[in-house]
Structure 1
Amino acid sequence: MPFVRIDLIRGRRPDEVRAIADATHQALVDVLGIPERDRFQVVTEHDADHVIALDAGLGFERTDRLVMIQIFTQSGRTTEVKQRVYRNIAERLEPLGIGGEDVFIGIVENGSQDWSFGFGRAQYVEGVLPVPGR
């Protein structure tokens, strides 16, 4: 059920873009236990001068290999689980030539009433889909 937005600096080959998306999804499958086909991702590429991502005072520099990931998901996951998601994604991106300094992840939580998977219906609220974690 997570909806994932991945923002990249333009210039990667299509297979690299797909590998980043695949690695991100597999981390969510492994850590959150979501079904393999529960995949909703949007990958957007930007010109380099349209992405500003400094280090928040941590003392490192980012490169043009930057990957910014937003994960929209239902509330209720523990801090430990979220930290495992961050680590797992970073570990999966490293073999793709993306260093830890270039992995920026944010998790945005909401409730079951905040989702419609089609037809203008709230499938979780209606009981058509089971609410994850319940």
Structure 2
Amino acid sequence: MPFVRTAVIKGTGPQQRQRIVDGIHQALVDSIGMPQDELFNLVVDYDPEQFFYSRTFNGVARSDQLIVIEITMRRGRSDAMKRELYKKIADNLGARAQVRPQDLFIFMHENDYSDWSVGSGKFAMELVQQLGNTSAV
């Protein structure tokens, strides 16, 4: 279950936020096989005077609309899967939210099941994963 924290410049409207979240989410579904109903994305604002960054680091021309995407998920995805994820995020946000790929700064934290509690204060390894809505027979 990835947890995503997305930082956008203050003043980003609700529709744009939704398009950004949807684009990131679909990239996770398409590239790492995340179930469709595993959506956890905390969108936060930053004031321009609170975030200092290089506009030219590594030859990338960044604007004042930089979006920071921080993904925390269970360890085990290959470099190829991560590369595909980053590309799909950039493609999706370009197409859905008109975000320049140069204005995306993405990084990942990996950990293990023992580092999660996803509900009811229970150790995640003790819970059976529920996929979507199921009905009792």
- Aligned partner of 2:73 in structure 1 is 73
C-alpha root-mean-square deviation of aligned residues, in Å? 1.6
- Structure 2: distance between partners of 1:108 and 1:56: 24
Deviation per residue, 1:99-133 (Å, 9 max, x gap): 1110110011000100101111113x225238xxx
Bigger drift between 46-55 and 81-90 goes to 46-55
Contiguous gaps of at least 5 residues in structure 2: 131-137
Match of 1:34 in 2: 34
Contact 2:94 2:100 in 1 (8 A): yes
- 8 Å Cα contact 1:9/1:51 also seen in 2: no
- Answer yes or no: is 1:98 the counterpart of 2:93: no
Return the alpha-carbon distance in structure 2 between the equivalents of residues 69 and 53 of structure 1: 14
Q: For the structure 1 residues 75 and 83, does the alpha-carbon distance in structure 2 shift closer, same or farther, using more than 3 Å as the test? A: same
Partners in 2 of 1:24 and 1:69 — Cα distance?
A: 9
Aligned to 1:107: 108
Per the TM alignment, residue 55 of structure 1 is displaced from its structure 2 partner at its CA by: 5.1
Q: Provide runs of 4+ in structure 1 moved above 3 Å.
A: none
Q: Distance in 2 between matches of 1:39 and 1:28?
A: 10
Superposed counterparts of 1:32-71, under 5 Å: 32-54=32-54, 57-71=57-71
Q: Taking structure 1 as reference, are residues 10 and 127 closer, same or farther at Cα in structure 2, changes over 3 Å only?
A: closer
Q: Which runs of 5+ in 1 are unaligned?
A: none
In the superposition, relative to structure 1, how do residues 113 and 94 fare at CA in structure 2: closer, same or farther (>3 Å)?
Answer: same
Q: CA deviation at 1:64?
A: 2.3
* Total equivalences in the alignment: 129
Query: CA offsets per residue over residues 61-112 of structure 1, 9 Å max, x none?
Result: 3112211000000001000000000000001111222111101100110001
